[in-house]
Amino acid sequence: MKPVPKSIISDFRHGILLTLLALFIVIFFWSSLERFEYGLYDLGSRLRVKPTNAPVCIVTIDDRSIDALGPWPWPRSYIGFMIDLLESYEAKVIGLNIIYSDKDLNRGLKEIINIINTIENNPQYSEKNIGMIVLLAALKDAEKRLDNDAILADSIASSKKVVLPLLFHLGNSKNNAEINYPDYLLANSLFPFPHNNSIIAGKISVPIDIFAQEAQRLGHVNILADNDGIVRRETLFLTYQERIHASFALQLSLSYLNLDLGDLVFGKNVAFGQKSIPLIKQNKMLISFKSDFPRYSFVDVINKKIAANAFQNKIVIIAPTAAGVGEYVDTPVASALPSVNITTNIIDNILNNDYITRPEWAFALELMVIFFFGLYIALVVPRLKAVVSGFISCFLILIWLIGGLYLMVTYGYWIRAVYPALVLLIGYIVIMSKRYKITPKVDAG
């Protein structure tokens, strides 16, 4: 029997070692190489973008509105008036993406309250004449008109369809003692489901009681970027004091579908009604970005320049977007995107069942391709001419990367295609370096 050449055995060993090295890198050094994988992911996200058809729009507190109505922050009565107007336009759900966690500091109102208290509690005014009665009535009327918190609370209560935000501060609380949940937090949270691995929060900022008590729902607005600062995922749930809280976008979607948190069924996915959201690590979901969400300037809506049917039976989100007021984030499809667009994209994905997913068979496919490329490096590349093996190797890498992009753009399947491609690229370089290594010349004489 003819012995196997040592060069073939050596090349086979190189191929196996390269394959094992690639697996080691995938498992232990993902964070160092993720920017290459994310580059391909972001390209797929951009190619996948298409106009939204979701029933959602934004009323923006933009620069033009601030120029017209005065500097931010505005009196809260402005927001109350907008809620009343959207209610009259028959918006189905109203999201207010502003956290009013402190009472309004209205010095004029405080002075009027002090005057009223002085008149009512001072003995020399105990016998009130008609003039004093008229004065008190005028002061109390002014008190009502200047109490912006009461005006906004009345608008929220009258609408019965306003969803308000919560903001969590992540990390374990230094004080682990249990707190007494207000009724409105209990109503907007659940006990953790089995195998819950949601991110833990240590503190919470909530709207003031008179707003939170009247809100239809509450949801968190925390947006967490990946290590490179790009937002690709939605944090659907956060754990706080051993209860989980849904995101603002999920609460808006549930409200639109006339469902509650109690309708959620947890497993590998979170299901409700006819919908099912694929979950990834830490109970997040990958965002499939869309374009052309309708946006209307606050001042135009207030001045009734926008037709009522633009809001009818839709989710309408009131959000600040002006420079220095609104929050902006970087995404795969755009830099400095208003954070409210993350919310609208999530709503679109949920209502249209349109997601980017990491299918269960993805890892097995990646391992199979790594193994295939390893065998190709070990057994095929050393037997071919450099030009031929280079052409074939480039062709295989290109086909594999295009295949990964195709699966993402067409079906929303995210395959980590870069690692197998790196196995082939690095392996080819090593084999060629070995073939053409420089050896010292020996003089014949």
Q: Encoding tokens for residue 211?
A: 């707003």
Rounded-to-10 torsion of CA 22, 23, 25, 30: 120
| Predicted local distance difference test score (pLDDT) of residue 169 | 93
How would residue 442 be classed by pLDDT, with cut points 50, 70 and 90? very low
The token pair at 14 is 């190189």
* Distance in angstroms (rounded) separating the CA atoms of residues 216 and 196: 26
Mean pLDDT along residues 379-401: 89
For residue 276, give both structure tokens. Answer: 């099912």
Residue 376 has a pLDDT of 87
Q: How confident is the model at residue 26 (pLDDT cuts 50, 70, 90)?
A: low
Rounded mean pLDDT of 165-176?
A: 78
Q: 74-92, pLDDT tens digit by residue?
A: 999 999 999 999 999 999 9
pTM of the model: 0.85
**Cβ pair 246, 261 in contact under 8 A:** yes
Report the DSSP pairing between strands 315-320 and 93-96.
parallel
175 vs 257: which has the higher pLDDT: 257
Residue-level pLDDT at 371: 84
The half-sphere exposure of 242 on its side-chain side, counting CA atoms within 13 A, is: 6
Reply yes or no on whether the pLDDT at 380 is more than 90. Answer: no
DSSP-based three-state secondary structure for 243: strand
- Cis before residue 73, ω within 30 degrees of 0? yes
pLDDT at 130: 60
The answer to whether residue 426 scores a pLDDT higher than 70 is: yes
pLDDT confidence tier of residue 32, bands split at 50, 70 and 90: low
Distances (CA, A) of 138 to 113, 144, 288, 388: 12, 10, 55, 93
Residues 6+ apart with CB under 8 A from 33: 25, 418, 419, 422
- Most confidently predicted of 146-150, 373-377, 415-419: 415-419
For the segment 10-34, the average pLDDT, to the nearest whole number, is 64
Percentage of the residues of the chain whose pLDDT score is greater than 70: 79
Beta-carbon contacts of 212 under 8 Å, excluding residues fewer than 6 positions away, are 164, 182, 184, 185, 206, 218
Q: How confident is the model at residue 141 (pLDDT cuts 50, 70, 90)?
A: very low
Residues 6+ apart with CB under 8 A from 400: 369, 417, 420, 421
Residue 110 has pLDDT above 60, yes or no: no
Q: Is there a contact between 402 and 385 (Cβ–Cβ < 8 Å)?
A: no
pLDDT digits (tens, 9 = 90+) for 56-73: 999 999 999 999 999 999
Mean pLDDT of 202-227: 95
Confidence grade of residue 173 (pLDDT, cut at 50, 70, 90) = low
Q: For residue range 225-244, list pLDDT tens digits in order.
A: 998 999 999 999 999 988 99
**Is residue 77 within 8 Å of 149, Cβ to Cβ?**
no
pLDDT on residue 386? 83
The 3-state DSSP class for residue 392 equals: helix
Q: Which pLDDT band holds residue 399 (cuts at 50, 70, 90)?
A: very high
What's the average model confidence in pLDDT over 384-412?
A: 93
Query: Are the CB atoms for 180 and 214 separated by under 8 Å?
Result: no
Mark 18-38 as b/e (b = at least 16 C-beta within 10 Å).
bbeebbebbeeeeeeebeebb
The predicted pLDDT at position 415 comes to 94
Sequence spans of domains, the chain? 6-48+358-435, 56-104+148-352, 107-146
Question: What is the predicted pLDDT for the residue at 7?
Answer: 59
Identify the weakest region by mean pLDDT among 118-122, 173-177, 317-321, 325-329. Answer: 173-177
Q: At 431, is the pLDDT very low, low, confident or very high (cuts 50, 70, 90)?
A: confident
Say if residue 199's pLDDT is above 80. yes
Q: Is pLDDT of 207 > 90?
A: yes
Average pLDDT, the chain: 85
pLDDT value of position 119: 59
User: C-alpha distances in angstroms, 299 versus 103, 151, 236, 305, 406?
Assistant: 25, 19, 32, 9, 43
Task: Select the more confidently predicted residue: 418 or 296.
Answer: 296
**pLDDT tier, 106 (very low <50, low <70, confident <90, very high otherwise):** low
Of 116 and 366, more confident: 366
Phi, psi of 200 (to 5 degrees): -95, 135
Tokens linked to 66: 């601030």
Average pLDDT over residues 181-207: 89
Amino acid at the residue 182:
P
Quote the percentage of the chain above a pLDDT of 90. 61
Q: What is the mean pLDDT of residues 387-393?
A: 90
Q: What is the pLDDT of residues 348-369, one digit of tens each?
A: 999 999 999 999 999 999 989 9
